Amino acid sequence: MQLPREVIVGKGVLSRVGETCRRLGFSGSILIVTDSNVQSIGAAPVGESLKNSGFKVQKMLVKSSSIPQVREVEREIEKLKPSVVMAVGGGSDIDIAKLSSANKGIPFLSIPTAASHDGIASPVVSMKGHRKPYSFMAQSPIAIIADVGIIAHAPFRLLASGCSDVVGKYTSVRDWKLAHRIKNEYYGDYAADLALMSARLVMRNARIVKSMSETGIRTIVEALVSCGVAMSIAGSSRPCSGAEHLFGHALDVTAPHPALHGEQVGVGTIMCAHLHGANWELIRDVLQRIGAPTNARELGIESKYLIKALTIAHKIRPDRYTILGEKGLTRKAAERVAKATGVIE
Ligand SMILES: [Zn+2]
Digit-coded pLDDT (tens) for 257-290: 999 999 999 999 999 999 999 999 999 999 999 9
For residues 184-209, average pLDDT: 95
- Ligand 1 centroid to 161 CA: how many Å? 9
Q: What is the DSSP letter of 278?
A: S
Rounded Cα gap, residues 220 and 18, in angstroms: 25
pLDDT digits (tens, 9 = 90+) for 89-124: 998 999 999 999 999 999 999 999 999 999 999 999
- Ligand 1 centroid to 176 CA: how many Å? 15
Residues with Cβ within 8 Å of residue 281, at least 6 apart in sequence: none
Which amino acid does the sequence have at 243? A
Rounded Cα gap, residues 327 and 68, in angstroms: 35
- Ligand 1 centroid to 261 CA: how many Å? 7
pLDDT computed for residue 211 by the predictor: 87
- Ligand 1 centroid to 128 CA: how many Å? 14
- Ligand 1 centroid to 228 CA: how many Å? 10
- Ligand 1 centroid to 265 CA: how many Å? 7
Residues with Cβ within 8 Å of residue 304, at least 6 apart in sequence: none
Residue 331 main-chain phi, psi, to 5 deg: -60, -40
- Ligand 1 centroid to 181 CA: how many Å? 24
* Cβ neighbour number for residue 51 with a 10 Å cutoff: 13
pLDDT computed for residue 209 by the predictor: 87
77 close to 65: Cβ distance less than 8 angstroms: no
Q: Is the pLDDT of residue 51 over 90?
A: yes
- Ligand 1 centroid to 227 CA: how many Å? 9
268 close to 245: Cβ distance less than 8 angstroms: yes
Helix crossing, 214-234 with 156-167: angle to 10°? 40
HSE-up of residue 269 (Cα within 13 Å, Cβ side): 34
- Ligand 1 centroid to 329 CA: how many Å? 22
Rounded Cα gap, residues 201 and 248, in angstroms: 22
- Ligand 1 centroid to 55 CA: how many Å? 34
Query: 32: helix, coil or strand?
Result: strand
Q: Is the pLDDT of residue 76 over 90?
A: yes
Rounded Cα gap, residues 283 and 63, in angstroms: 34
Which amino acid does the sequence have at 333? A
Predicted model pTM: 0.94
- Ligand 1 centroid to 165 CA: how many Å? 5
For residues 170-180, average pLDDT: 98
HSE-up of residue 20 (Cα within 13 Å, Cβ side): 24
